[in-house]
Amino acid sequence: MTTTPAATVLTRNNVHVSGKPDGRAIMFSHGFGCAQEVWSRVAPHFEADHRVILFDHVGSGGSDLSAYDRGKYDSLHGAADDILEILEALDVTDVVFVGHSVSAMMGVLASVHDPSRFGKLILVGPSPRYIDQGDYTGGFSAADIDGLLNSLDANYLAWSATMAPVITGNPDRPEVGEELTGLFCATDPVIAGHFARVTFLSDNRADLEAVTVPTVVLQCSEDVIAPDVVGDYVHEHIPGSTLVRLSAKGHVPSLSDPDELVAVIRAQL
């Protein structure tokens, strides 16, 4: 689907492959403000029997920041195209795609564009639209999102320190929020501001019914970013999907309860 050299693709997205070379591929895709390190307590558990693929979305982590094109990444389709380019560069089919938060919708878009690359989607805390509209509940009003984006633009580091503990939940375990704060603060503020707008203003509800790949929706408890009603919506609108409710609290179970997340993903394999 691309003429971009494989080596360029793998460098651009800081791709790391580990595990069993001939095992079924499993790809872990991180959400907003994070990098592949957010999977550090999850991905190694699959290396004994899977080919594990980790990467950074352009603009995050160790990716090539010079490759961040605001035009390309002005919608989630740009990142979805990158996912397909990585799979093509690695010559991967039948991949188990594990996407957290906004990257869950990137996986949806990529699988709709080329389902031949995917064997299963595992969507962790997905949301096709964050803003309430009509009888749809996304969890936020338009004013909520405007306020969130404005505060992010005004002082990204302060926003990160304030929002990370809210996003992770678990107020009795401040170290979980502090870890996410560290990931947020390692992201370029200008890119983060643009990506935040793309993320929180996106609407991918119409894409859900086009998914043909077997899909599992993992819904965390007490998730303020993607509440239960959103997980139910995704499940109801992806044909034949399975909904699994986690005990893990907050929006980032790879940090707050990696053991449960590993066990649930393993059960789906």
Catalytic residue list contains 29: no
Q: What is the CA radius of gyration of the chain?
A: 17
Residue 129, token pair as written in the block: 């639209």
Residue 167, token pair as written in the block: 């996003």
CA 163 to chain centre: 17
Catalytic residue list contains 247: no
Active-site option among 30, 50, 235, 251: 251
Active-site option among 29, 60, 63, 101: 101
Among 34, 32, 13, 20, smallest CA distance to 87 is for: 13
Which segments of the chain are extended strands (E)? 16-19, 24-29, 50-54, 95-100, 118-124, 215-221, 242-249
Catalytic residue list contains 251: yes
Do residues 78 and 72 make contact, with C-beta atoms less than 8 angstroms apart? yes
Do residues 111 and 222 make contact, with C-beta atoms less than 8 angstroms apart? no
The Cα 267–Cα 96 span in angstroms is 13
Active-site option among 81, 82, 223, 257: 223
| Three-state secondary structure call for residue 2 | coil
The DSSP letter of residue 221 is E
| Three-state secondary structure call for residue 95 | strand
Tokens 């990585």 — which residue? 86
* Residues marked as catalytic: 101, 223, 251
